[in-house]
């Protein structure tokens, strides 16, 4: 039978973002020494996608349906990623291909260093789903069996099955952000995309970043931490959107250990499940959804009022041995968050061989770039001092 599943309310919310915050993709970037054969990569993507129909989805009305077509592999000869202003990179900011309806794509950049990029429309996968599919492709390249990831379950169905313990947090745009706000210029990039390497790792990275952001913010910060719902069903094998937010209320000067206690309490009480009910706001006509998103963007850019101060997500830890394939030795892995018109800052954390990769998508505006660079400097400096493990 053809794989199919309903488009969840969370996923429905992401459709207007494709043209409001283009290219609206999560991107998993793996750089390394050596080379990857393009035809072998295409075959590996094909085999992995057969075991993971979530990588082959096409929209059919209110459902996602397996198209039977593996994600395209696009080779960009000699290209090297733009740095530090990643938002200027013509490849990583290009639309997903080969068609506007495509939902997953793989890039092979052959400039130094060789770079593999998994690009995913958030409407079909969450960040962990992207990581699961990408690591399955690497398994195939090593001659191993792909991961079977064929459960047709997303967040709404899982929460219906296990239940939510309480009510969702109120969503009112009152929260400031660590980089302030500034009116947007039509001629400037709508979003900034930056990466920093922290030469240390250790427990509590999300709590530490949340505390540092709150320290730079006026009033209470609301930090959104995506929680992987797969923790509630360890047997679940799905790459669908299975993350809901745990909201942290952080005061300036609050110790990171107190933030960590908030996280522990929220996870113990399963508070993230409550937020499924908040997605009912998306069950409105597309035109109304777009109008709401435009209003949230303008309120955040012009007045500094946001539904949350930032998103901070940890996407896992890896070693080069876990990611290596014949002829290619990874030197880093990091995630590039999708842009958002409703969220001023989206941070991604990944650990690799004793280093922490920190990336951020930021809503741009007058004065934002300089303040963002200063904030990143402070985050790197502080975390390198405080995190216990040094490479």
Beta strands in the chain (DSSP E): 4-6, 25-34, 57-60, 63-66, 72-76, 104-109, 114-121, 191-198, 221-228, 243-250, 310-318, 328-336, 345-352, 355-363
pLDDT in tens, the chain (391 residues): 899 999 999 999 899 999 999 999 999 999 999 999 999 999 999 999 999 999 999 999 999 999 999 999 999 999 999 999 999 999 999 999 998 899 999 999 999 999 999 999 999 999 999 999 999 999 999 999 999 999 999 999 999 999 999 999 999 999 999 999 999 998 999 999 999 999 999 999 999 999 999 999 999 999 999 999 999 999 999 999 999 999 999 999 999 999 999 999 999 999 999 999 988 766 677 788 888 899 999 999 999 999 999 999 999 999 999 999 999 999 999 999 999 999 999 999 999 999 999 999 999 999 999 999 999 999 999 999 999 877 6
Residue 180 has a CB neighbour count (10 Å cut-off) of 18
pLDDT confidence of residue 316: 96
CB 175, CB 309: distance < 8 Å: yes
- Residue 389: the pLDDT is 72
Residue 285: predicted pLDDT: 76
pLDDT of residue 327: 97
Q: Read off the DSSP letter of residue 28.
A: E
Q: Which of 131, 58, 130, 64 is nearest to 99 (CA)?
A: 58
Distance in angstroms (rounded) separating the CA atoms of residues 54 and 103: 9
pTM: 0.96
**CA 92 – CA 119 distance, rounded (Å):** 9
Domain spanning 4-150+171-386: which CATH class is it, in words?
A: alpha beta
Residue 71 has a pLDDT of 98
Q: Residue ranges of the domains in the chain? A: 4-150+171-386
Give the strands of the sheet with 310-318, arranged side by side: 191-198, 355-363, 345-352, 310-318, 221-228, 243-250
Q: What is the pLDDT of residue 391?
A: 66
The verdict on whether omega for the bond into residue 45 sits within 30 degrees of 0, i.e. cis, is: no
pLDDT, residue 289, reads: 82
In the three-class reduction of DSSP (H, G, I as helix; E, B as strand; rest coil), residue 223 is classed as strand
pLDDT of 281 reads 66
């Amino acid at each position: 039978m053809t794989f199919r599943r309903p488009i969840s309310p969370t996923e429905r919310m992401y459709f207007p973002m494709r043209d409001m915050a283009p290219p609206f993709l999560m991107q998993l970037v793996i750089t390394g020494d050596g080379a990857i054969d393009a035809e072998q990569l295409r075959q590996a993507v094909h085999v992995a996608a057969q075991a993971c129909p979530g990588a082959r989805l096409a929209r059919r009305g209110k459902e996602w349906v397996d198209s039977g077509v593996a994600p395209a592999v696009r080779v960009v000869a000699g290209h090297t990623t733009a740095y530090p202003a990643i938002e200027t990179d013509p490849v990583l900011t290009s639309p997903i291909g080969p068609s506007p309806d495509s939902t997953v794509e793989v890039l092979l950049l052959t400039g130094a260093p060789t770079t593999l990029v998994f690009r995913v429309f958030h409407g079909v996968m969450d960040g962990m789903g992207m990581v699961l599919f990408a690591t399955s492709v690497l398994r195939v390249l090593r001659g191993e069996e792909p991961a079977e990831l064929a459960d047709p379950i997303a967040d709404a169905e899982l929460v219906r099955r296990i239940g939510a313990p309480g009510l969702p947090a109120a969503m009112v745009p009152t929260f400031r952000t660590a980089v302030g706000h500034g009116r947007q210029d039509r001629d400037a990039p709508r979003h900034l995309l930056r990466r920093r390497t922290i030469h240390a790792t250790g427990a509590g990275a999300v709590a530490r970043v949340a505390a540092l952001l709150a320290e730079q913010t006026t009033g209470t910060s609301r930090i959104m931490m995506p929680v992987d719902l797969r923790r509630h069903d360890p047997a679940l094998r799905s790459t669908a959107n299975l993350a809901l937010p745990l909201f942290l209320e952080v005061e300036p000067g609050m110790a990171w250990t107190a933030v960590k206690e908030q996280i522990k309490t929220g996870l113990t009480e399963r508070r993230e499940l409550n937020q499924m009910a908040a997605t009912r706001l998306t069950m409105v006509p597309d035109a109304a959804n777009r109008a709401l998103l435009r209003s949230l963007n303008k309120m955040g850019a012009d007045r500094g009022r946001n539904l949350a101060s930032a998103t901070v997500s940890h996407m896992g830890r890896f070693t080069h041995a876990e990611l290596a394939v014949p002829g290619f030795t990874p030197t880093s892995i990091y995630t590039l968050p999708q842009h958002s018109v409703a969220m001023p800052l989206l941070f991604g954390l990944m650990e690799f061989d004793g280093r922490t990769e920190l990336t951020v998508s930021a809503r741009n505006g007058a004065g934002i770039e300089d303040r963002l660079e200063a904030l990143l400097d402070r985050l790197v400096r502080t975390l390198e001092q405080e995190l216990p493990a040094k490479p």
